[in-house]
Amino acid sequence: MRKSLSPVVAAPLVSRRSVLRAAGIAALSPLTSMARRQSFGGVAAGEQREVAGVALCWCPAGRFTMGSPASEIGHRADEAQVDVTLTRGFWIGKFEVTQSQWRKIAGPFPDKPPAPEWGIGDDFPVYWVNFTEAEGFCTALTRTARESGALAADWEFRLPTEAQWEYASRAGTVTATSFGGALGRTHANFAGALYNGGPDGPAARRATRAGSYPPNPWGICDMHGNVFEWCRDWYHSRLPGGVDPDLHATRGTANRDGTYSRVRRGGAWNDDGVFCRSALRLRYEPERRSDHIGFRIVAVQAQHLSPSPV
């Protein structure tokens, strides 16, 4: 069995200015511009900032073990562990994208509007949104934030890769959830069976207001339960490992009918706790929508992204 590795935050890089100074070379003006661009990034895990009305938490560069050990309760074959290194930090939404944020940035809801039976309110997560529509929101938010000067020109909003999502969900933990080896209804919004003896409580049986449950160690809320979240990657039956894995443009494992799916993560209000684990991954065809699938955004340096497929 692969030995589980604790997430390790990468040591800060030595700046080029420091190297030049040590070598007795005068710093040039382009370095000032570089420092200004890099200043949009965070420093410490969980550091928070707000951009265009969206609360963000910093996830520093680091290394972690993605997936789950065979001994984990609920372990599935497509969760076989791999080592992942993320060479650059990124910002992730403290909350899932809300209904009010959708209206402000994207306009009308693309399909069924929110309703009381699924959770309705400005601070509730948006749902009934497919993969392409979620990506469209990210593009529109990038444009709006850049035009206002709130977002650095070389950064942009995207859906998280699977690796980024799980890294942020774990927030330095190696257990099944960021709250430990059990999950209960005091930790997250899910209606089904408790996970591994977690504490019981009332089940909302619909989405709940963002931030209604405790955050993980990096200050990120609702990574377990509430609504499933779209990820950037196509579904592959084996987890991508290595350095900065990104399967946005690489179709993976075909469905039985020959179609292909993107990945959704995090579990939802109508699930059992076992589906809310950090390693749990499910496929979903990108054109489909659901009353329990929404999304969360990340902000990353644009030059670090792989090109989108045509």
Residues 180-232 have pLDDT tens digits of 999 999 999 999 999 999 999 999 999 999 999 999 999 999 999 999 999 99
Give the pLDDT mean for 128-149.
97
Q: Contact, 253 vs 282, CB < 8 A?
A: no
- Which of 91, 232, 89 lies closest to 150, judged by CA? 91
Q: What does the pLDDT average to over 100-121? A: 97
Measure the CA–CA gap between 304 and 306, rounded to whole angstroms.
7
Residue 170: name the closest of 76, 262, 86 by CA: 86
Query: Which residue type is seen at 245?
Result: P
**Which tokens belong to 158?**
């995207």
Cβ atoms within 10 Å, residue 8? 13
The DSSP 8-state label assigned to residue 139 in this structure reads H
CA angle 39, 42, 43 (to 5 degrees): 110
- Does residue 113 surpass a pLDDT of 90? yes
The arithmetic mean of pLDDT across residues 167-177, rounded, is 98
- Using alpha carbons, select from 282, 171, 251 the residue that is nearest to residue 217: 171
- Measure the CA–CA gap between 272 and 166, rounded to whole angstroms: 19
User: Which candidate, 164, 167, 100, 134, places its Cα nearest to that of 295?
Assistant: 134
pLDDT at 34 over 80: no
What tokens were used for 191?
A: 């209606």
Confidence at residue 282, expressed as pLDDT on a 0 to 100 scale: 98
Task: Kindly list the structural domains of the chain, giving each domain's residue range(s) and its CATH number in brackets, ordered by start.
Answer: 45-304 (3.90.1580.10)
In this prediction, residue 38 has a pLDDT band, given cuts at 50, 70 and 90, of low
The answer on pLDDT for 9 being more than 80 is: no
What confidence score (pLDDT) does residue 39 get?
76
Q: Above pLDDT 90, what percent of the chain?
A: 85
In tens, the pLDDT along 221-260 reads 999 999 999 999 999 999 999 999 999 999 999 999 999 9
pLDDT of residue 303: 63
pTM over 0.75: yes
Who contacts 149 (Cβ-Cβ below 8 Å, separation ≥6)? Answer: none
CB atoms within 10 A of CB 235: 24
Banded pLDDT at 302 (limits 50, 70, 90) = confident
Residue 265 has pLDDT above 90, yes or no: yes
The pLDDT of residue 306 is 46
